[in-house]
Structure 1
Amino acid sequence: MSTGRTRAVRLTRWGGPPVLTEVPRPVPTGEEVLVQVEAAGLCRSDLHVIDARPGDLPYRTPFTLGHEVAGRVVERGPQAVGPSVGERVVVYGPWGCGHCAHCASGAENYCDRRPTLDTNQAGTGAGLGRDGGMADVLLAPSGRLLVPVGDLAAVRAAPLTDAGLTAYHAVATVRPSFTCGADVVVLGIGGLGHLAVQILRATTTAQVLAVDVREEALALADQCGAHFGTLLRPDTAEVLRSRTGGTGAAAVLDFVGSHSSLELAIAVLRAGGELAVVGSGGGELTVRKPGALPPGARISLPFWGTLPELGRVVALAREGALRVEVERFALSGATEAIERLRSGSVRGRAVLVVD
């Protein structure tokens, strides 16, 4: 049994910057499993947490950030299940109650007992009110939340737990409406969007149309297999509709969620189409009948993904069908990584490497 202290990037108070500090090394009890962290991803969800004001989120400070985690099992509680000591794993980030109907099916992202501002519970998962993986070690509440990754590189594996999983879940949400060769628009080719393009290519026959405001993002979309890419311009809706033969897209995956992206999504969606809003860019939709939305349109707000889906995402990555574009930073460089992410200058996904 290891004791002592360990490094962690902690949010110590709302409105304050995260700090790299030392904390007691946790010892697993009951079903808990201790994971030696090899890599931890960083995304805009972390920025939302860092920038939150008191009362914005149902969490209590202090806690360790980091919800995209890959590492190795080093200790297990006496009632632990799942991977053995020495196995390399990724950590499923949304931690539900483990007992409700959603959790029993593996959909802990939709746990019926998710904390709210009124329930005063500890948090919703790794790095979200509970200690996460921007640290030397992470204490998982149960081995059920760990997915083996074999020899998959940690720096590529960690982002699969959110960027890969959320993109996969969004695609799975709209996929049942596809016909053979359906046109699908992906808005925002960033950390999630570039993976959504690959997932669409690997799991569907869809024609993938990519949109971004950056030329380099469109180049990344092309590398990931998009059939067509275009910058966001005043005539983008007409260009995309022309690519679909005038009917519009069967589905739009909006990884931005801004006013302009939602406006474009509505403009290119066909009648009976599916709009999945994944990004949290502050945009709003007015749902009115009649209104701007096409007849029969269905709107979803996919959140993260399920535990079985994470297993499928890992399988795609191990088969070589899914590769995360990453920029590496040391754990001690977390502040730089956060500022680079905030400035929008990270290509793909920022990952902290722990050594």
Structure 2
Amino acid sequence: GHENAGTVVDVGQAVHTVAAGDKVILHPLSTCGLCRACRAGDDVHCANSEFPGIDRDGGMAELLRTSVRSVVKLAEGLQPADVAALADAGLTAYHAVRKAVPLLHPGARVVLIGAGGLGHIGLQSLLAMTPAQITVVDRSAEVLEKAKALGAHETVLSDGDQVATVLDQTGGAGAHVVMDFVGEHGTEADGVAMTRDAGSYFVIGYGGRVDVPTIDIISREINVIGNLVGSYNDLDDLMTLAALGQVTLSTRQYSLDDALSALDDLDGGRVPGGRAILVS
């Protein structure tokens, strides 16, 4: 229950920015607002943060208490169930793309590895925020078809020849930016190999290991960039893209009583986009 959106039912006496009846989405962290990271707008590294659904009770319930600092009011027309999964998965993807934006000038090439739950949000964010040429790499032909429908300029099936195909598409140079939304099962090595000299390999998915000889990092001047969940401002910006219809989610809704069925379907890979929404 760490990706939460819903309707405000009550507020404290000092809260003036939202009211009962407002539809909102919550930043996944509850932050103090007083530490150095918070004062710099870097909520994600708050020294005193709590993570509802992880280290305290989260949103798999009928009611959730939160801090006003976590609340982003939704624009007219956006429904909580339609955007809830953007609170972490979408926010992480958007955050990585925002960091890559200065590197993606017109004509730049970006490779996106994995266009599933996070990746399809990253793809939409890239299309909305950059003029780059986007290649999506995935082992699923069905996922690639969906990526093409969303606007990917090129798609590559991960069939063992994906690195060679990407290098061929880029004249042997590789991509200016590679965004790895998988981060395991060999995509780490593929991602580095697809990155051109002086390019940047963004690690978003996790589970594997990035193993690059130090001489390669130096001689090729490549950057390996880690990406955590985004800030409050990132979430606010992402909601603007959602309100404009530039970022949408592939999900399936379940009642709160069917939470165990939702978890079973997720575990079995039966949920489109890998996101199940519990609605009370």
TM-score of the pair, normalised by structure 2: 0.94
Q: Does 1:277 align with 2:203?
A: yes
Partners of 1:155 and 1:351 within 8 A in 2: no
Aligned partner of 1:231 in structure 2 is 157
Aligned to 2:18: 83
Q: 2:116 aligns with which of 186, 190, 203?
A: 190
**Inter-partner Cα distance in structure 2 for 1:311 and 1:153:** 15
Output the aligned Cα RMSD. Answer: 1.7
Question: CA–CA distance in 2 between the matches of 1:294 and 1:277?
Answer: 20
Q: Which amino acid aligns with 1:337?
A: A
- CA–CA distance in structure 2, aligned partners of residues 257 and 214 of structure 1: 16
Matched, 1:350 2:275: yes
Give matches, 1:237-248, under 5 Å.
237-248=163-174
Q: CA, structure 1 residues 294+136, in 2 after alignment: closer, same or farther (shift >3 Å)?
A: farther
Q: Does 1:109 align with 2:109?
A: no
**2:171 is the counterpart of 1:249:** no
1:68 aligns with 2:3: yes
Match of 1:309, SS state, is: helix
Aligned residue for 2:65?
139
For 2:183 and 2:102, the matched residues in 1 are separated by 22
**TM-score normalised by the chain length of structure 1:** 0.75
Give the length in aligned residue pairs: 279
Whether 1:221 and 2:156 are equivalent positions in the alignment is: no
Instruction: Give the secondary structure class of the aligned counterpart of 2:24.
Output: strand
| Residue segments in structure 1 that go unaligned for 5+ positions in a row | 1-65, 115-123
The code of the aligned residue for 2:238 comes to V
Cα distance in 2 for partners of 1:181, 1:327 equals 36
Larger proportion of strand: 1
CA distance in 2, matches of 1:227, 1:79: 49
Q: For residues 266 and 219 of structure 2, what CA distance do their matches in structure 1 show?
A: 35
Q: Deviation of residue 342 (structure 1)?
A: 2.0
Unaligned stretches of 5+ in structure 2?
A: none
2-side partners of 1:294 and 1:172: how far apart? 27
**Matched residue, 1:323:** 248
Alpha carbons 2:27, 2:232 under 8 Å: kept: yes
Task: State the alpha-carbon separation in 1 of the partners of residues 232 and 132 from structure 2.
Answer: 25
Q: What is the rounded CA distance, in whole Å, between the counterparts of 1:112 and 1:249 in structure 2?
A: 36
User: Which residue in 1 is equivalent to 2:191?
Assistant: 265
**1:34-73 alignment to 2 at 5 Å?**
66-73=1-8
Contact (CA 8 Å) 1:258, 1:283: kept in 2 or not? yes
Post-superposition CA distance 1:121-149 (Å, at most 9, x none): xxx31211122111111100x21210011
**Residue from 79, 86, 107 that aligns with 1:181:** 107
- Out of 322, 337, 351, the position equivalent to 2:262 is 337
Q: CA deviation at 1:159?
A: 1.2
Contact preservation (8 Å) 2:105, 2:130: no
Percent identity between the two aligned chains: 35
Larger fraction in helix: 2
Contact 2:24 2:72 in 1 (8 A): yes
Q: Which residue is equivalent to 1:31? A: none
Distance 1:297 1:250 in 2: 10
